[in-house]
């Protein structure tokens, strides 16, 4: 014979009471509503873990909804996500798996993710890494990204090294700081500042914002691999696992 503990008995009573009371709720008189409300409050106070369970369930539901939304957005915007001509490609340009990263030069977690990217490229000669400039952390970030995008137009062959030095630094990325690093690579400051006014830069950043909105991306770093949007600095091992799954079954989850 099965026995109910106190928590189970209370839950059973709550369910029984809810089914026994007349429906709809509008049919309850004030005294019944007050009694029922007090009973629910007492139950939740005695079992606060239920609220946590509800919160987790809501979070899981929202994550599932976000995944579905991202999958649809990826299917609708494949070229813009994986093959936009203004994006920089590191690793193997002809690689069989592409990892797309949305990043901000002032994002501390992006600095950690940069080390993951370097490790991935070193370990996997067949991975293609696409970088999307996504300045969302204020005016300094926007200005630093504009410098970086001007730098790329002037010295594309040095952009990978420039990117890692600017993102990997321990000071805030500003326009002045980004320009100083660019000068270390031999790029002329006057030409760099002139290039920052190129309308193509604004167009590229706007397109990235639109893609991020469609994908449900609101923070950095965020990644797109296959048909999945991956949020946060999840680490090298997680990314390696998703890359391996893409090769095995053409999906990040096999």
Task: Give how far the C-alpha of residue 53 lies from the chain's centroid of Cα atoms, to the nearest Å.
Answer: 24
Contact between 130 and 89 (Cβ < 8 Å): yes
pLDDT of 27:
60
For residues 165, 166, 171 and 175, what is the CA-based torsion angle, rounded to 10 degrees? 150
What pLDDT is attached to residue 15?
43
**One pLDDT digit (tens) per residue for the chain, 254 residues:** 443 344 443 444 444 444 444 445 556 677 777 877 787 888 878 888 888 888 888 777 776 777 777 788 999 999 999 999 989 999 999 999 999 999 999 999 999 999 999 999 999 999 999 999 999 999 999 999 999 999 999 999 999 999 999 999 899 999 999 999 999 999 999 999 999 999 999 999 999 999 999 998 989 999 999 999 999 999 999 999 999 999 999 999 89
The tokens of 95 are what? 């690689």
3-class secondary structure per residue, the chain: CCCCCHHHHHHHHHHHHHHHCCCCHHHCCHHHHHHHHHHHHHHHHHCCHHHHHHHHHHHHHHHHHHHHHHHHHHHHCHHHHHCCCCCEEEECCCCCEEEEEEECCCCHHHHHHHHHHHHHHHHCCCEEEEEEECCCCCHHHHHHHHHHHHHHHHCHHHHHHHHHHHHHCCCCCCHHHHHHHHHHCCCCHHHHHHHCCCHHHHHHHHHHHHHHHHHCCCCCCEEEECCEEEECCCCHHHHHHHHHHHHHHCCCCC
Under 8 Å between Cβ of 224 and 230: yes
Q: Give residue 98's pLDDT.
A: 97
Check residue 26 and give its pLDDT. 55
Rounded to the nearest 5°, which phi and psi values hold at 193?
-65, -35
Enter the pTM of the model. 0.74
Q: How many CB atoms lie within 10 A of CB 56?
A: 10
Domains and CATH numbers, the chain: 1-52 (no CATH), 78-249 (3.40.30.10)
């Amino acid at each position: 014979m099965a026995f109910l503990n106190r928590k189970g008995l209370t839950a059973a009573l709550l369910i029984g009471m809810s089914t026994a009371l007349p429906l709809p709720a509008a049919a309850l008189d004030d005294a019944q509503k007050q009694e029922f409300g007090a009973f629910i409050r007492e139950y939740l106070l005695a079992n606060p873990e239920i609220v946590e369970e509800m919160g987790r369930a809501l979070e899981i539901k929202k994550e599932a909804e976000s995944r579905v939304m991202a999958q649809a957005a990826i299917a609708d915007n494949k070229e813009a996500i994986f093959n936009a001509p203004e994006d920089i490609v590191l690793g193997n340009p002809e690689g069989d798996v592409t990892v797309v990263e949305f990043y901000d030069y002032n994002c501390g977690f992006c600095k950690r993710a940069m080390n993951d990217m370097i490790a991935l490229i070193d370990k996997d000669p067949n991975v293609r890494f696409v970088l999307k400039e996504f300045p969302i952390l204020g005016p300094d970030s926007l200005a630093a990204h504009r410098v970086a995008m001007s730098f790329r137009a002037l010295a594309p062959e040095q952009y990978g090294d420039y990117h890692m030095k600017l993102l990997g630094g321990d000071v805030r990325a500003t326009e002045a700081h980004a320009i100083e690093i660019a000068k270390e690579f031999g790029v002329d400051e006057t030409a760099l500042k002139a290039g920052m006014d190129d309308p193509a830069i604004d167009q590229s950043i706007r397109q990235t914002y639109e893609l991020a909105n469609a994908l449900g991306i609101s923070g950095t770093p965020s990644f797109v691999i296959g048909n999945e949007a991956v949020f946060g600095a999840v680490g090298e091992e997680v990314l390696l696992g998703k890359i391996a799954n893409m090769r095995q079954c053409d999906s990040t989850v096999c």
